[in-house]
């Protein structure tokens, strides 16, 4: 079971976590200030299947700050995107306006990406990534970042 923060919700990935490979810990540090590249996201998600010991959260993060990464089990947490933030809505005013893309790694589509923008003026964005491989698609990497610049 994943550990929880004092404010509720799961803990973000920690660059000090010794169970993670060194290159993945460096990517966690990089994610505090910038969006990760497709290959970097792919590396984090595939390290789970290469023996890294990481607990997937079974609940959504609770109003996470920009610069944090979370790994959530989307099979056991169907509402993993309900994080307490106010995201831009579609024209109907009900559903969150999320854009979906398939991202390439080494010229092959390998990742799903959903992204949303905050409804407030704080420039917070959320990107959710998971592998297209049906055998390994349960882990979602959620990246929150305050950014006026998109990829």
Per-residue pLDDT band for 2 (boundaries 50, 70, 90) equals very low
Give the pLDDT confidence score for residue 52 in this predicted structure: 64
pLDDT at residue 6, rounded to an integer:
43
Dist CA 75 CA 60 (whole Å): 12
5-58 pLDDT tens trace: 444 578 899 999 998 999 999 999 999 999 999 999 999 999 887 766 677 889
Q: What is the mean pLDDT of the chain?
A: 88
Sorted by sequence, the CB contacts under 8 Å of residue 142 that are 6+ apart come out as 61, 64, 69, 70, 71, 72, 80, 83, 126, 127, 128, 129
pLDDT number for residue 122: 77
Q: Is the pTM of this model over 0.85?
A: yes
Choose the weakest-confidence range: 44-58, 72-86, 112-126.
Answer: 44-58
pLDDT for residue 56: 87
In which band, very low, low, confident or very high, does the pLDDT at 150 lie, cut at 50, 70 and 90? low
H-type helices in the chain, by residue range?
A: 22-30, 38-47
Domain coordinates in residue numbering, the chain? 22-77+85-146
pLDDT above 90 coverage of the chain, percent = 62
Report the largest interatomic distance among the alpha carbons of the chain, rounded to a whole angstrom.
46
> What is the arithmetic mean of pLDDT over 117-124?
86
């Amino acid at each position: 079971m994943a550990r929880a923060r004092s404010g509720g919700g799961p803990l973000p990935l920690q660059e000090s976590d010794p169970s993670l490979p060194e290159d993945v810990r460096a990517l966690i540090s990089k994610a505090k200030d910038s969006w990760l590249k497709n290959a970097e996201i792919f590396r984090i998600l595939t390290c789970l299947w290469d023996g890294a010991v990481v607990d997937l959260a079974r609940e959504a993060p609770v109003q996470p700050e920009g610069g944090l990464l979370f790994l959530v089990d989307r099979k056991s947490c169907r509402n993993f995107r309900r994080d307490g933030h106010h995201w831009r809505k579609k024209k109907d005013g009900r559903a969150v306006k999320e854009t979906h893309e398939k991202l390439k790694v080494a010229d092959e589509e390998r990742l799903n990406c959903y992204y949303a923008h905050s409804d407030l003026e704080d420039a917070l964005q959320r990107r959710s990534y998971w592998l297209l491989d049906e055998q390994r698609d349960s882990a979602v990497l959620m990246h929150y970042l305050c950014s006026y610049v998109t990829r």
